[in-house]
Chain A
């Protein structure tokens, strides 16, 4: 790794941090500055002007927006996320209790989806133009297009209602045996996997085909190298960067899916906590959850970028 690469990586890290800062400004502006007077809203329209003024000072609303933003940001950085309005608990405690569950769900999904997507993507790239490739390409295109709740409701209908194999509701606390674990996680993980596998398989197929079209692969083919060897020894090592990029990008779509899936299956994770917070207009909790999800998203996009840089010699020496 040369100094050029380090500089490039450092620049990406810096850009990600700046973006996160701008995202925090946007989030704060939307949730705390634009909606108007939170003190008036909290007391209702029958409050006297004195009461409203007193609460405004207590909540720090008499300060200009920039000052409030800075103190909010300082609090976030020191791990103080404020109090949840609807639960009378600290936001850090609430989110901290739910976070392992969401991480577990995301981890299980990644563990299942990555190998499946790689096999499908590489397989259909190898048999390009075949009937199998056509079918896979149609299925993945369709799966990318359908909403998560369609997959989820159909899966519940088939596996829980008609076949009775799995429970429709998941409770993360009750898993003692591996079988129970599977029964609990199967439906949410399957639903999340559908969309993500489809994304990842399409991107993997494109990355491998890109390599298969290159002159060096044609040379290998003309030399009489077997198709399996061409893919495994020649094309794949060069496609690893784009594939890793594809994996990280696809996993960032988990964020959208997890909101729907946790709600449908009553899964006690951060995303369902956030939906409840939005419904109850519990602003401190909404802000904390949004920042958590946006950081995770930016982190995955950053990893995708770094994979692309590290695997591409041209990008490194530019």
Chain B
């Protein structure tokens, strides 16, 4: 939720050392490559799958890596490569939809809060503060216990728990921009509130808002795959990467690739996103001169 605080953008002094700049940009590039890779897998993966997702193709369960089954087979003897390709679409797709909705909702509410009367701003802010103090996993657990798990519910839950954070950041950005002269000029000119919010304020905060969207995407991947791992997320016969780890947990004793590969897949996705975002925000802080 407020993990954003922990991010420590390198200061100007950091970046004056050539070596550090060099290594961060390499890592940022690697992160970007990982993000693009998973995006492509989510888009085209299911067409590349060698076998249908649900088909049992081997008599051996938890088979090791081989030429026929590059990722081995799962607890029923299904091809792991096909299952990971299909699972990635769920993981990336669900998280992307939720992150866009959460950021969109948070940012719209923030713009609204800045241009409407003070008391309404106060009401919106208090409400968001209340939602931010429920840890996302707790909210997800009570939502599932009340309504049962479904794709719509998972998206709703992710939006509910991550839009308050987006709101908080977007509001603090918008408040600063709102105080600038060109906004005051537009106001004096007699522009409508909607115009001020969308044309004057929004374009100037788009960059940090998009960075925040990326961070939120990472958190949502962690939340949703965690829920699936508990058996409370994406329900069979569909499976995201978290469900794949859960259903193959029996192969842990033999160190089967069926459990290691989906777990590593989630790891590379989230690490890639974080490296990429870290790079983006440190570049911005350098451009604006340190802090």
| Chain A residues close to B by CB (< 8 Å) | 19, 22-23, 26-27, 30-31, 34-35, 128-129, 131, 134, 138, 141-142, 144-150, 153-154, 156-157, 161-162, 168, 199, 202-203, 205-206, 209, 213, 246, 249-250, 252-253, 255-256, 259-260, 263, 274-275, 277-279, 281, 283, 286-287, 290, 293-294, 297-298, 301
Contacts and interface: CB of A to CB of B under 8 A. Distances in A.
A256 B263 CA distance: 18
A128 B274 CA distance: 21
B230 interface: yes
Contact of A255 (B7, B135, B146, B245): B135
A88 to B, nearest CB: 19
Given A19-B129, A209-B11, A141 B278 contact: yes
Contact of B252 (A131, A156, A250, A259): A156
A290 B141 contact: yes
Given A23-B133, A281-B145, A275 B11 contact: no
Contacts of A259: 137, 141, 226, 230
Contacts of B273: 145
A199 B252 contact: no
Contacts of B263: 147, 149-150, 153-154
Nearest to B248: A153
B131 interface: yes
A23 B271 contact: no
B147 interface: yes
7 contacts: A19-B129, A35-B147, A134-B19, A157-B255, A252-B135, A256-B136, A277-B145
Contacts of A141: 271, 274-275, 278
B232 interface: yes
A199 B6 contact: yes
Contact of A23 (B6, B130, B242): B130
A260 B136 CA distance: 13
Contacts of A279: 231-232
10 closest A-B pairs by CB: A206-B8, A22-B130, A145-B274, A145-B270, A278-B145, A129-B17, A150-B263, A256-B137, A35-B146, A146-B267
Interface in B169-227: 218, 222, 225-226
A5 B11 CA distance: 32
A150 B264 contact: yes
A277 to B, nearest CB: 7
Interface residues of B, number: 57
Given A249-B5, A294-B135, A286 B274 contact: no
B145 A31 contact: yes
Contacts of A128: 13-14
B142 interface: yes
A260 B226 contact: yes
Nearest to A15: B129
Given A149-B263, A156-B252, A142 B142 contact: no
B152 interface: no
Given A147-B226, A157-B260, A263-B230, A142 B271 contact: yes
A306 B130 CA distance: 19
Nearest to B278: A141
A286 B7 contact: no
A162 to B, nearest CB: 7
B259 interface: yes
Contacts of A142: 271, 274-275
Q: Which of A209, A252, A256 has the most CB of B within 10 A?
A: A256
A274 B227 CA distance: 13
Contacts of A297: 133, 135, 138
Nearest to B14: A129
B190 to A, nearest CB: 37
A135 B225 CA distance: 27
Contacts of A290: 138, 141-142
A58 B133 CA distance: 34
A153 B222 contact: no
Contact of B134 (A23, A157, A209, A278): A23
Interface string B234-276: 0000000010010001001111000110011011001101110
A318 to B, nearest CB: 19
Given A26-B131, A153-B245, 6 more contacts: A128-B13, A142-B271, A147-B222, A147-B266, A161-B252, A283-B146
Contact of A145 (B225, B249, B252, B271): B271
A144 B274 contact: yes
Q: Which of B27, B146, B147, B271 has the most CB of A within 10 A?
A: B146
A274 B141 CA distance: 8
A260 B260 contact: no
A256 B135 CA distance: 7
B32 interface: no
B150 interface: no
Contacts of A255: 135, 137-138
Given A157-B252, A298-B133, A138 B27 contact: yes
B66 interface: no
Nearest to A206: B8
Contacts of A19: 129-130, 133
Contact of A205 (B8, B141, B264): B8
A215 to B, nearest CB: 14
